[in-house]
Amino acid sequence: MNTGRYEYVREGPEIYRRSFATIRAEAELDGMPPEVAGVAVRMIHACGMVDLVADLAWSPNAVLAAREALRAGAPVFCDAEMVAAGITRRRLPAANDIVCTLGDQRVPELAQQLGTTRSAAAMELWADRLEGSVVAVGNAPTSLFRLLEMVDEGAGRPAAVLGLPVGFIGAAESKQALAEHPALEHLVVHGRRGGSAMAVAAVNAIASEQE
């Protein structure tokens, strides 16, 4: 019996059911490929903004390429510890490595040498494992810019890049650059919006192969 002061839904499964029903009723998902719509729903659930779909853009094979890479055992490279921590490991199909090198002890000196942010410098430690990987950028635009530079310089090409950095300086520009890159499968949210929660939601949706 509810003896509390407030009336609210208390059952977890019911909250979950109503949440996704609300998203599907309010978001403009028509015309999206089913696999992209599934990812979009999860991302909206993470941020609470049904209008997110207006800024969502993707290359034709982005979600399927990322899903296939995960099935094949590809690592997931993350620009921020929050992204790495949020990925649900039990959903990953091949006990995939989740890698974030931002806290590596080599990064501060490397950033100083290169004259860039630590987030961008941390990318350098991925170079020999990028080929066929899944990359999730949910925080730093400099990370995404550096990733694009590395690919142009001959580093391995990821299977897919989830480009979702957030912010006012460089976020929109870095995502536009990814969307225009001719060699990378991508999913982006154009503009300033993004963040670790969205990146995590995208990876988890791709890994779970549902919704």
Rg of the chain over Cα atoms, rounded to whole angstroms, equals 18
- Out of 45, 181, 186, 190, the active site residue is 45
Please indicate whether residue 45 is annotated as part of the active site. yes
Q: Which residue has the tokens 């099935």?
A: 71
Q: What is the rounded CA–CA span in Å between residue 46 and residue 40?
A: 10
Helical H runs in the chain?
12-26, 34-47, 62-71, 81-86, 107-114, 118-123, 141-152, 171-180, 196-208
The strand pair at 98-99 and 160-163 is best described as: unpaired
Supply the residues annotated as catalytic: 45
